[in-house]
Amino acid sequence: MTTALGTRVVARNFGYRHASRENPALKDINFEIAPGERILLTGASGAGKSTLLAALAGVLGGSDEGVSTGELLVDAPSIGLVLQDPDSQVIASRIGDDVAFGCENLQIPREEIWPRVERALELVGLDLPLSHPTKYLSGGQKQRLALAGVIAMGARLILLDEPTANLDPQGQKDVVAAVDRVVQETGATLIVVEHRHELWVNIIDRIISITDGEDVQPAELIKVGQLPGAQPSTSKPILWANDLLCTWGGLRSFEVPEGASTVITGPNGAGKSTLALTMGGLLPPKSGQLELSDTVRGGLNTPPHKWRSADLAARIGTVFQDPEHQFVARTVRDELEIGPKIMKVDASERIEELLDRLRLRHLENANPFTLSGGEKRRLSVATALVAAPKLLILDEPTFGQDPETFTELVTMLRELTDNGISIVSVTHDPDFIAALGDHHIEVSAK
């Protein structure tokens, strides 16, 4: 088994421009990293950190896809890259095969492959049989699996691009612990790009800013701004349930107060999303009672999952975890207009108001899929609000976001409750809960 020793990484006036963009993604990047150093790379959103990591890993594409300038040097070709989305990095259906994939590509002889696989899995703390199906892994486990795949290859430079952005708190901790252990055992050089600085600050040596290559002190890092805290609610419930049994999870009994922000919390896999979808009338409950107040019902006597789509949208809005699942039109304006058009409702005033309040006016004619993460999130909230529902349900609204977008989202949601709209959010984000947890619904695994 090889013990990898870290590699030196040097950038001299390095720049890169994608063929499809006008402005270069990276310009005049200069820094020097010693072998075995652990670096946290910071910089504003869009500053090109992902592009830099991709360049280091050699996955940026051929000469027809972009042009590079300057130099980017590493001692060894063995470089590993772990990306943000756990699902898109799984390559095989069994964990052993997934970890072995990199070794196969490096033409390592079969006798050497499996010992490496086992050692790698042990280092990242995945104590599961080699034939364990990858589809049953949690997000945190999938990220650790990807890390195992990288070290089985004997990587001397480990690059991590927002590895914990899409994970729940437990998964985040597990990944950081695994990385710490891996780097300690193998001595590889580490570069992490992450906006959740608190998680990593204890295990890294230096923080480098991508814009000038200078060291950054931990105190200077961008933190989530001061947000007003949650206000416990005493209003009467707008929605309540008694022994509700959803298609997944145990019996639930709870209330949702009107005009306040409720958060649904609980461990991974407990059924939070299923509950949210059931409340939103998008999944039928198996049994039990789910009641709505007259404010929401608006005259309908049947349960929400039986309502016509047009009726549902006017009463309960749902914002999905992945905004792209909701897009149906070619421009931002069309997205807002299509709902009312089909529902045969006049919402022109509301559309203009939403475009302004959610700062989408300058993006009116842009294609929804080309928006940034934060802009997509705002658009998906806008499309839910255009039908003026009294209840808004959000599934993991802070998934994969940076601090600026987060602050903006929280402020916007608080404004909504101030205006009398009830909000229910499925979340595991402690900052979100602190700011918007007027009322809690704990979902346990049973």
Partner 1 sequence: MASPAMQKTNQPKSSWRVIDIVIASVLGVACGLIFIVWNSIGYAWTTAFHALTPGLGGIAIGIWLLGGVLGGLVIRKPGAAIFVEVVAACVSAALASQFGISTIYSGLAQGIGAEIIFALFLYRRYSLPTTMLAGMGAGGGAIFLEMFFYGNLAKTMSFNIIYSTTVLISGAILAGLLSWYLVRALARTGALDRFAAGREV
Partner 2 sequence: MNLLIKINPVTRIIALMVLTTPLLLSLDVMSAAIALVATIILAPFAGVTWKMLLKRGWMLFLMAPVAALSMALYGRPDGKEYFSFLLIHVTDNSLALAAAIGLRVLAIGLPVVVLIARIDPTDLGDGLAQLLKLPERFVIGAVAGSRLMTLFREDWYSMSRARRARGIADQGKIKHFFTMTFGLLVLSLRRGSKLATAMEARGFGRTTGRTWARESTVGARDLVLILVCAAISAIALTVSIQTGFFKFLGT
* Biggest CA-to-CA distance, the chain: 70
Among 91, 221, 227, 433, binds partner 2 (CB under 8 A): 91
Neighbours of 74 (CB within 10 A): 19
**Binding of partner 2 by 261 (CB under 8 A):** no
> Sign of dihedral through CA atoms 197, 199, 201, 205?
negative
Q: Which stretch binds partner 2 (CB under 8 A): 62-70, 193-201, 245-253, 307-315?
A: 307-315
The one-letter code for the residue type at 232 is: P
- Distance, in Å, from the CA atom of 111 to the CA atom of 271, rounded to the nearest integer, reads 43
Determine how many CB atoms are found less than 10 A away from the CB of residue 198.
10
The item of partner 2, partner 1, none sharing an interface with residue 8, based on CB under 5 to 8 Å by kind, is partner 1
Which of 1, 19, 44, 59 contacts partner 2 by CB under 8 A? Answer: 59
What is the C-alpha separation between 382 and 123, in angstroms, rounded? 45
Single residue of 25, 26, 55, 182 touching partner 1 by CB under 8 A: 55
Near partner 1 by CB under 8 A: residue from 30, 45, 50, 68:
68
- Does residue 292 touch partner 2 according to CB under 8 A? no
* 142 to 98, 115, 166, 321: CA distances (angstroms): 10, 20, 11, 19
For residue 21, the minimal CB distance to partner 1 (Å) is 9
Q: Give the range of 19-27, 119-127, 279-287, 430-438 binding partner 2 by CB under 8 A.
A: 279-287
From the list partner 1, partner 2, none, which binds 344 (C-beta under 5 to 8 Å, kind-based)? Answer: none
Cβ atoms of residues 412 and 432 within 8 Å: no
Q: What is the spatial distance between Cα 66 and Cα 102, in angstroms, rounded to a whole number?
A: 26
Backbone φ and ψ for 239, nearest 5 degrees, come out as -150, 135
Helix (H, G, I), strand (E, B) or coil at 189: strand
Given candidates 170, 268, 293, 326, which one binds partner 2 under the rule CB under 8 A? 326
HSE on the CB side for 165, CA within 13 Å? 21
Which residue ranges make up the site for partner 2 (CB under 8 A)?
Answer: 54, 57-59, 79-81, 83, 85, 87-94, 96-97, 100-110, 113-114, 117, 135, 146, 149-150, 153, 277, 280, 282-283, 308-310, 312-314, 316-318, 320, 322, 324-328, 338-339, 342-343, 369, 383-384, 387
Which residue ranges make up the site for partner 1 (CB under 8 A)?
Answer: 8, 10, 18-20, 55-58, 60-65, 68, 71-75, 77, 79, 330, 367-370
